[in-house]
């Protein structure tokens, strides 16, 4: 890492506006980051509640709590809320807070656009969640909304679903334009691209992925809209179309989307492990190249979601090989994190606990992903709980733990108060144990033959399903503890210094600022040597 020249902090002559208007009209990156983070936290409980409904029903065989029509709405909306309402906004919130601080700029490049990007989200989700309360019911065709179930056979509310997806897409695209522009044009002098913090790198790459694929999602739902309302036949065989075309276009978006959901976590984990191993991240340039190759490769693997659609042999083999290839840069990152810890001087504060759990459990998710890539074996895994286990491992102890690690790591900087370490550790251990109790048995029921999106199942799957449901409830309630910890850290706690952790000032510009930072962050640009 380079050394950083100390600068003056400006005396902020004005602070934020007072009251509700502050939050409605703010153009400050820290306020907007806070809005995104609170929104995503709220949506975590909304999506989590849907998961609780699912797991309550699946606790035992038989239909006890809900009927299949409502269950299908729960699985669909749980997915949509978690993907578009929790993980993505949480990372955008962290981006808003941290990117200007890490590159030495006073704010994002387009502050007013930033405000719009956020406020589009509550609007979109109000529209989406409100469909659950309508007579026709909400979307019930899975978060992947394959045609023709989502076109010819969809409830009328599908049009509202399409509209909310459009709004979400606009929010992500505008946010990404802002992020790329900020990173490319507003870095402190001396901070070349290869001196940028890894979190900033991860977001630069993620933002480019978003720019590339969110419009494809918009195209997909527009084609759906046209098939439903304007008599076209993109996905309707009768008119010369093809339902499988939907899958190709959707997954062309969908696969890069899942890398969008993990790359920022990679960035966060690199920072946390570096700080708490007291040793610079091993292989900085490889980390950058690895993230870049993952992003590029993510465009040529999409049909590994479609191995059973009747693709010809050459297609199956190609997508199997390209998917296996992604394991290489991902593996390099895991090796580098371990090599950072090796011969370091490690302490185990809460952020580090979450980061270490990320490395281990994301890797388990990666292994099941590698198994899924093996096309002939996928004939037995596809659309079973084995897939559900895989993606929950990479998204929950993967992405979500990455977010949580970032929150614990940076919250003393944001609020000026240390969070309660004892409670943090309790939150960690409860989450760690319950997350494994919830998702590990899913591998087994999937292998044994339980398909996904089933509200009821044959008797041989009962024991593990009960275990999963218990784990899920514990995990869900444990996040209330996180809520308590966060609120407590906002209001009180041991005062945090500029550096917060040990000897961080040479390792990131954010640690040269006060905790909490001044309203306009850097009013004088620092210089990076």
Would you name the residues annotated as active-site residues? 78, 107, 143, 171-172, 255, 257, 259, 270, 304-305, 330, 333, 452
Please state, in angstroms and rounded to a whole number, the distance separating the CA atoms of residues 495 and 247: 52
* Binding status of residue 231 toward other proteins by CB under 8 A: yes
Q: 10 Å Cβ neighbour count for 348?
A: 11
Which residue is it, tokens 């083999």? Answer: 317
Q: Please name which of 326, 337, 258 lies closest in space to residue 292, comparing C-alpha atoms.
A: 326
Q: Please, which of residues 375-414 interact with other proteins by CB under 8 A?
A: 375-377, 379-380, 382-384
Q: Give the whole-angstrom CA distance, residue 243 versus residue 504.
A: 54
SS (H, E, C) 464-518: HHHHHHHHHHHHHHHHHHHHHHHHHHHHCCCECCCCCCCCCCCCCHHHHCCCCCC
The answer to whether residue 506 forms part of the interface with other proteins (CB under 8 A) is: no
Q: Is residue 436 close enough to count as binding other proteins by CB under 8 A? A: no
240-279 footprint of other proteins as x/- string (CB under 8 A) = x-xxxx--xx--xx-----------------------xxx
Cα end-to-end span (Å), the chain: 9
What residues pair up with 521 in beta bridges, in sequence order?
none
Nearer to other proteins, 483 or 525 (CB): 525
Task: Note whether 295 binds other proteins by CB under 8 A.
Answer: no
The 131-170 site mask, x for binding other proteins (CB under 8 A), equals: ----x----xxx---x-xx--xx-----------------
State the minimum distance, in angstroms, from the CB of residue 367 to other proteins.
4
328 binds other proteins per the rule CB under 8 A: yes
473 in contact with other proteins (CB under 8 A): no
Cα separation of 86 and 486, whole Å? 17
> Which range of residues in 115-123, 334-342, 412-420, 476-484 is near other proteins by CB under 8 A?
334-342
Binding residue for other proteins (CB under 8 A) from 91, 118, 362, 464?
464
- Position 80 contacts other proteins (CB under 8 A): no
Which window, 29-37, 118-126, 174-182, 478-486, contacts other proteins (CB under 8 A)?
174-182
**How many angstroms separate the CA atoms of 255 and 233, rounded?**
25
Least distance CB 486 / other proteins (angstroms): 27
Distance in angstroms (rounded) separating the CA atoms of residues 479 and 483? 6
What number of chain residues touch other proteins (CB under 8 A)? 122
Confirm or reject binding of residue 126 to other proteins (CB under 8 A): no
110 binds other proteins (CB under 8 A): yes
Any contact of residue 454 with other proteins (CB under 8 A)?
A: yes
Tokens 């407590």, located at residue: 488
Nearest Cα to Cα of residue 4 among 507, 505, 508, 528: 528
């Amino acid at each position: 890492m380079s050394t950083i020249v100390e600068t003056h902090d400006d005396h902020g002559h004005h602070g934020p506006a007072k009251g509700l208007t502050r939050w409605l009209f703010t153009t400050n990156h820290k306020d907007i980051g806070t809005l995104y983070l609170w929104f995503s936290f709220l949506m975590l409980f909304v999506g989590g509640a849907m998961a609780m409904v699912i797991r309550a029903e699946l606790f035992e065989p038989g239909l006890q709590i809900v009927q299949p029509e409502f269950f299908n709405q729960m699985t669909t909306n749980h997915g949509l809320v978690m993907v578009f309402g929790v993980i993505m906004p949480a990372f955008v919130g962290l981006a808003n807070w941290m990117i200007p601080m890490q590159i030495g700029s006073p704010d994002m490049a387009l502050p007013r656009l930033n405000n719009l990007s956020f406020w589009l989200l509550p609007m979109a989700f109000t529209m989406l969640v409100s469909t659950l309360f309508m007579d026709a019911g909400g979307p019930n065709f899975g978060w992947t909304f394959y045609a023709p179930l989502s076109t010819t056979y969809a409830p009328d509310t599908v049009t509202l679903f399409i509209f909310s997806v459009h709004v979400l897409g606009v929010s992500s695209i505008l946010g990404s334009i802002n992020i790329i522009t900020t990173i490319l044009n507003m870095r402190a002098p001396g901070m070349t691209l290869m001196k940028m913090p890894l979190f900033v790198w991860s977001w630069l790459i993620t933002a480019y992925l978003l720019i590339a694929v969110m419009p494809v999602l918009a195209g997909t739902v527009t084609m759906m809209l046209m098939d439903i309302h304007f008599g076209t036949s993109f996905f309707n065989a009768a008119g010369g179309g093809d339902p499988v075309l939907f899958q190709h276009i959707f997954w062309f978006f969908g696969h890069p989307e899942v890398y969008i959901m993990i790359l920022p976590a990679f960035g966060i984990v690199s920072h946390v492990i570096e700080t708490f191993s007291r040793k610079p991240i091993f292989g900085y340039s490889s980390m950058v190249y690895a993230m870049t190759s993952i992003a590029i490769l993510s465009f040529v693997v999409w049909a590994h979601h479609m191995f059973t659609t009747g693709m010809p042999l050459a297609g199956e083999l190609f997508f199997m090989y390209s998917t296996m290839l992604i394991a290489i840069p991902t593996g390099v990152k895991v090796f580098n994190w371990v090599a950072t810890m090796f011969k370091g001087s490690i302490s185990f504060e809460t952020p580090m606990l979450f980061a270490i759990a990320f490395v281990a459990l994301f890797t388990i998710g990666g292994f099941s992903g590698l198994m899924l890539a093996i096309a002939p074996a996928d004939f037995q895994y596809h659309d079973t709980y084995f897939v559900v286990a895989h993606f929950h491992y990479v998204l929950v102890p993967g992405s979500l733990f990455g977010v949580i690690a970032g929150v614990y790591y940076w919250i003393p900087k944001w609020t000026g108060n240390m969070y309660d370490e004892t409670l943090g550790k309790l939150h960690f251990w409860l989450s760690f144990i319950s997350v494994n109790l919830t998702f590990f048995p899913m591998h087994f029921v999937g292998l044994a033959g339980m398909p996904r999106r089933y509200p009821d199942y044959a008797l041989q799957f009962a024991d593990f399903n009960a275990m999963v449901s218990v784990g899920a409830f514990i995990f869900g309630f444990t996040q209330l503890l996180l809520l308590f910890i966060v609120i407590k850290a906002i209001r009180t706690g041991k005062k945090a210094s500029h550096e917060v952790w040990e000897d961080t000032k040479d390792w990131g510009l954010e640690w040269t600022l006060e905790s909490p930072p001044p309203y306009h962050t850097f009013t004088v640009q620092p210089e990076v040597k």
